[in-house]
Amino acid sequence: MTNLWLYFSSPKTFYPLAGKLIPVFSLLAIILIAIGLYMGFAVAPTDYKQGDSYRIIYIHVAAAWMSMFIYVVMAGWAAVGMIWNTKLSDMMAGSLAPTGAMFAFVALWTGALWGKPTWGTYWVWDARLTSELILLFLYVGFIALRSAIDDPRRAARASAVLAVVGVINVPIIYFSVRWWNTLHQGASVSPEMAPKMAATMLWAMFVMAMAFWMYTIAVVLARVRSEILERESSTEWVREILARQR
Amino acid sequence: MLQIRDLECRRGDACLFSGMNFELQDGQLLHVKGSNGSGKTSLLRIICGLFLPAAGTVSWQGLDIRENRDEFNRALCYIGHLNGLKDDLTAVENLSIHARLTGTPATRDQIESALERVGLMHRAYLATKVLSQGQKRRVALARLLLGGARLWVLDEPFTALDVKAVSQLQGVMRDHLAKGGSVLLTTHQDVEISSSSHRDINLDTWAKSA
Amino acid sequence: MGEVSLITALRTVVAREITLAMRRRTDVFTTLFFFIIAVTLFPLGVGPDIEVLRTIAPGVIWVAALLASMLALSRLFSSDFQDGTLEQLLLAPHPLSLLVLGKVFAHWLLTGVPLVVLSPLLGMQLGLDAQAIGLLMGTLLLGTPILSLIGAVGAALTLGVRGGGVLISLLVLPLYVPVLIFGAGAVDAQAKAVEFGAWLYLLGAFLVMTIVFAPFAAAAALRISVE
């Protein structure tokens, strides 16, 4: 098992493996998105209070979950890279960041769209939305630091430190924002979700989250592949691949 | 004794050298040679533990320097391209701070005699920002005379020094070698320190033929 | 022997920072005046209604303190990096994280403490009463070291990076959020006559946590940046 792990943790063996996995995960993502959207838009019942506008949560909630998961996974890869000094984990961390940032943005965007019909305003200083916004800032900082440093090895190591510091802070930020929200209760309406959600609604959300996972894996693998080509461009095997494609 | 095993150094995409092996015994001087950009400074920084090699290990007295950093740092004195002096402080203050940081506090007399030896006693109490390049270099080199570092790693120590200072420094190095210390240096100048313990290595031997 | 020399080294680091700051006093005053000017801008922007100012005062003073201490960060390592003394610090035979802690402590004495000392004046300007001002000072005293510690990680990461000055704000400000919330929250809670002790405990807990973790992160970041 460990040997297998080591075998695939070298860029040279990982590159073709990733190439084979991308279509699989892409296909899974498409199928799951189709199922999830069908469940969410056709099967799940209309909300008695909010009508059909609530249906955006199938994207909103799944995207918000993903944005948080991805940050933790990213920091995990960053830590692995720091401890064992493996190139591939650095690339994983770096490739996850743009997707995580995108999901954070999507969560905010759909949150605003959901807010307009529900509370009559695009933005409320709700605890969840606010911490999502700060999470987006954390992603932006990570991406900015990574791209500001020219040397790829230094960029990877520096941003790994930032990701680990960030992930320790994420729960503190989350809870501090919640407490801040309770202190200033009068200022905003907290958009609590209906306490009892129909089982189909939960299932639809879960399927959408899985679909986003599959999409994330496919995109990240593709990004890692191109980064491998870029960073290993001086090696023999990459030259062979490039020569074959010409 | 300093041991270098299978060292590989990369700068960005370029591999500067790989598979490097050598040893530096006590009482020996090693002159690192190589063309521009062959990785002389990188090698010295790797040996000091300031730069992470792509592969390989550096060990001091048989122990990996990354795992015994404090121990190794006690034995090391590194003088790089930068002099490591605070412009706003005097030469004496700079040296005294350095001595205390390295765990070998020096008395004023010791510091003054070190400055005397590099011929800078008359500038000892001036802020180093008013000193010339060569004088600043001498203050930096006076660090070698304080504390008991056994391994000296010197990156172009003769830069900006005049003829007299160069021969003074050569004398200092000869004394250090005679006492069983070792020196690793790069320089473009042709210097002869001591014929018996002097060795050259050329980085171009390990350069990866691209 | 090892411990004695470590204490000597720590004392040397702190004393060195203070000596250097005393030879370039303007640096300390720039931060301080930035703090004063930033707070003064708010009444000019919001209007002189003392009731409004009183409600926003804790937030305004805290945000200004956040920005002021962030501006001072760029000096924390960069001059040492440029003249090579940072390399020498890295080669000292002591744990780098502790030396960093010493450096951050000195930095806090020079930039954080003046903010705390000056804050009553600004609090009065914005119509806070004596009790609120006392609490504000307390939160700043607990909170500004956190700003310096977290900031040190950001400063170490952006060392020698092009556009480092702007980049550091991007990295550090989101991480400052809990400090801002706990600090301004305590003063706000007191104004609303709610229990404010919890906020101070949280701030204290966060301070302990950053003292434990931040020096390690900053030391790791320094080793990476000096390469």
Residue A15 and residue A21 in contact, taking contact as beta carbons nearer than 8 Å = no
Considering only CB atoms, C8 lies closest to which of B50, B85, B100, namely: B100
pLDDT at A196: 56
**Residue C118 to residue A103: CA distance in whole angstroms:** 43
Range of the domain at C13: 2-226
CB contact, 8 Å: B209 with chain A?
A: no
Report strand pairing: B63-64 vs B14-24.
unpaired
Residue B13 C-alpha, separation from nearest chain A C-alpha, in angstroms: 7
- What's the pLDDT tens digit per position in B26-78? 989 999 988 888 889 999 999 999 998 988 999 999 899 988 898 899 999 99
Cβ-in-10-Å burial (0-12, 13-18, 19+) of C59 comes to middle
CB contact, 8 Å: B10 with chain A?
A: yes
* Contact criterion met (CB < 8 Å) for A137 and C173: yes
CB contact, 8 Å: B130 with chain C?
A: no
The H-assigned helical ranges of A120-151 are: 127-148
Considering only CB atoms, C83 lies closest to which of B50, B78, B82, namely: B82
pLDDT at A6: 63
pLDDT at A190: 42
ipTM score assigned to the predicted complex: 0.90
Touching C (3+ Cβ pairs <8 A), the chains are A, B
pLDDT at A212: 94
pLDDT at A189: 41
**Average pLDDT for residues C185-206, to the nearest whole number?**
89
Nearest residue on chain B to A151, judged by CA atoms? B12
pLDDT at C213: 94
Count of domains in chain A?
1
Residue A181 C-alpha, separation from nearest chain C C-alpha, in angstroms: 10
pLDDT at A26: 94
* Contact criterion met (CB < 8 Å) for C157 and A82: no
Handedness of CA B31, B37, B41, B45 (dihedral sign): negative
- What's the pLDDT tens digit per position in B162-179? 888 888 888 899 999 999
pLDDT at A8: 66
Residues of chain A neighbouring B10 (CB-CB closer than 8 A): 153
pLDDT at A2: 58
Residues of chain C neighbouring B81 (CB-CB closer than 8 A): 84
Task: Please report which confidence band the pLDDT of residue C28 belongs to, taking 50, 70 and 90 as the band edges.
Answer: confident
**Residue A143 to residue C167: CA distance in whole angstroms:** 11
Range of the domain at A171: 18-245
**Average pLDDT for residues B150-168, to the nearest whole number?**
90
Length of chain A: 246
**Token pair 């999830």 in the structure block, residue:** A36
To probe the interface with C, which of B94, B101, B154 has the most C CB atoms within 10 Å?
B101
Nearest residue on chain A to B210, judged by CA atoms? A234
CB contact, 8 Å: B50 with chain A?
A: no
The per-type count for chain C, helices as H runs and strands as E runs, is 9, 0
pLDDT at C225: 92
Residue A192 C-alpha, separation from nearest chain B C-alpha, in angstroms: 50
pTM of this prediction? 0.90
DSSP character at residue A47:
B
Considering only CB atoms, C91 lies closest to which of B52, B78, B97, namely: B78
Residue B4 C-alpha, separation from nearest chain A C-alpha, in angstroms: 20
Residue B26 C-alpha, separation from nearest chain A C-alpha, in angstroms: 33
Query: Can you state the angle between helices B108-117 and B91-101, rounded to 10 degrees?
Result: 120
**Residue B32 to residue B17: CA distance in whole angstroms:** 13
- Higher-pLDDT residue of A192 and C13 is C13
**Residue A238 to residue A15: CA distance in whole angstroms:** 10
> How many other CB atoms sit within 10 Å of the CB of residue B196?
9
- What's the pLDDT tens digit per position in B77-91? 999 999 999 999 999
Count of domains in chain C?
1
- What's the pLDDT tens digit per position in C77-132? 999 999 999 999 999 999 999 999 999 999 999 999 999 999 999 999 999 999 99
Domains defined for chain B, CATH in brackets: 2-205 (3.40.50.300)
3-class SS letters over chain B: CEEEEEEEEEECCEEEEEEEEEEECCCCEEEEECCCCCCHHHHHHHHHCCCCCCEEEEEECCEECCCCHHHHHHHEEEECCCCCCCCCCEHHHHHHHHHHHCCCCCCHHHHHHHHHHCCCHHHCCCEHHHCCHHHHHHHHHHHHHCCCCCEEEEECCCCCCCHHHHHHHHHHHHHHHHCCCEEEEECCCCCCCCCCCEEEEEHHHCCCCC
* Contact criterion met (CB < 8 Å) for A173 and C174: yes
Instruction: Answer yes or no: is A171 within a domain.
Output: yes
Indicate if the pLDDT at residue C195 is higher than 60: yes
Considering only CB atoms, B97 lies closest to which of C16, C94, C95, namely: C16
**Residue A11 to residue A17: CA distance in whole angstroms:** 10
CB contact, 8 Å: B87 with chain C?
A: yes
Residues of chain B neighbouring C89 (CB-CB closer than 8 A): 101
pLDDT at A39: 87
pLDDT at A3: 61
Nearest alpha carbon to residue A229 among A2, A10, A12, A5: A12
**Residue B106 to residue B88: CA distance in whole angstroms:** 21
**B107-131 exposure pattern, b = at least 16 Cβ within 10 A, e = fewer:** eeebbbebbebbebeebbeebbeeb
CB contact, 8 Å: B89 with chain A?
A: no
CB contact, 8 Å: A183 with chain C?
A: yes
Touching A (3+ Cβ pairs <8 A), the chains are B, C
Report strand pairing: B2-11 vs B14-24.
antiparallel
Instruction: Encode chain A (246 residues) as per-residue pLDDT tens digits.
Output: 456 666 667 788 888 888 889 999 999 999 999 998 888 888 877 776 677 777 888 889 899 999 999 999 999 999 998 888 788 888 899 999 999 999 999 999 998 888 888 778 888 888 888 889 999 999 999 999 999 998 888 898 999 999 999 999 988 988 888 888 777 654 444 445 554 567 778 888 889 999 999 999 999 999 999 888 888 777 788 888 888 876
Instruction: Answer yes or no: is A4 within a domain.
Output: no
Edge to edge, what strands does the sheet with B14-24 contain? B14-24, B2-11, B55-60, B63-64
Interfacial B residues in 162-181 facing C (CB < 8 Å): none
* Contact criterion met (CB < 8 Å) for B15 and A234: yes
